[in-house]
Amino acid sequence: MSETPGWFKRAIETPFVNNNIEVDGVNIHYLSWGDDADKPGLVFVHGNGAHAHWWTFIAPFFLTHYRVVAIDLAGAGDSGYADSYTAESFAAQIAAVANDAGFGNDTIVVGHSFGGFVTLKTGLLYEDQLSGIVLVDSAVRPPDFQWERDPRRSPIKPKRVYDTYEAAHSRFRLMPPQDCNNQFILDYIGSHSLTEVENGWTWKFDDTMFSKFEFSDKQHEDLANLRCRVGVIYGEDSYLFSQEIADYMFKVLDESVPFAGIPEAQHHLFLDQPLAFVSALRTLLAEWRHSRPDRTYN
């Protein structure tokens, strides 16, 4: 088991505030750091089956220049479940959280995996409220892409109830599956993934979400139609983000869009290589703070 480093301990000990708002009849929970109203907003969006605390050890690294929030999307973490889920409803939740946190139109949204697809839709629908989005190992594939497995099939298995917290916590696994040498990170996010129920402990996420989610095959069109700044960070060892995918996205966007590959990182790249991810994202955001957008729009 890997030893817990000092940077991680300091990060998770950084104070944050728990917040709740209602969006379209669903309670949405989010974490917030920083209270300097003069700083722009930075929103972190988790992937499928994850939650806001996946960012607790990442967010404090950005407080010098930003106020930061991390959202629990509907059906995840400490937010409520919804009767149905759409990319548009998730985007509305992100916009509502940013507004509730007092962020202005210089807000940047960073989304991982499934959260990146939601972030993409947010950038498309709420461009007047944003200065940019960052897609983190969120692969937008060509319309004729040959899938190895049905993309509409949820990677999340039906939940079970465990007799004890310890038994449940010991079963925490990453989805999609991969190894991760930073066990201290897995232990931490696993501890925030569980809730006590009548007969024991189970996972917080809505395991029926994918069956109630309206899928779109137009993500490549959304990517092409983005009018806000875009950045892409991916794991060089991610089986979901191949060089073919990177080349396609680069072609759909343009050469002004930064693409940063994290060496020795798989799909859950900021769990594999957290400090390398922080460095890549801070560098990207620093460049944005000191330059003007130069993308050519259709």
pLDDT tens-digit map of 158-201:
899 999 999 999 999 998 889 999 999 999 999 999 999 999 99
3-class SS of residue 287 = helix
pLDDT in the model for residue 214: 77
**% of the chain at pLDDT higher than 70:** 94
Query: For residues 291 and 228, which has the higher predicted lDDT (pLDDT)?
Result: 228
- The CATH architecture annotation of domain 6-142+215-289 reads 3-Layer(aba) Sandwich (3.40)
- For residue range 194-237, list pLDDT tens digits in order: 999 999 999 999 999 988 887 777 888 999 999 999 999 999 99
* pLDDT of 78 strictly over 70: yes
pLDDT in the model for residue 217: 75
CA torsion angle 220 224 228 233 (round to 10) = 50
- For residue range 114-158, list pLDDT tens digits in order: 999 999 999 999 999 999 999 999 999 888 766 554 444 555 678
pLDDT in the model for residue 158: 85
CA torsion angle 61 137 220 257 (round to 10) = 50
pLDDT in the model for residue 297: 44
Q: How many CA atoms lie within 13 A of 236 on its CB side?
A: 8
First to last CA, the chain: 51
Indicate the pLDDT class of residue 298, thresholds 50, 70 and 90: very low
Indicate the pLDDT class of residue 36, thresholds 50, 70 and 90: very high
> What mean pLDDT value characterizes the chain?
92
Alpha-carbon distance of 221 to 69, in angstroms, equals 28
Radius of gyration of the chain (CA): 18
* pLDDT of 70 strictly over 50: yes
Amino acid of residue 142 = P
* pLDDT of 294 strictly over 70: no
pLDDT in the model for residue 175: 87
pLDDT in the model for residue 155: 59
pTM above 0.85, yes or no: yes
Find the DSSP H helices in the chain: 6-12, 87-100, 114-125, 165-169, 183-191, 219-225, 243-252, 269-272, 274-289
For the chain, the structural domain boundaries read 6-142+215-289
In sequence order, the β-bridge partners of residue 213 are 85
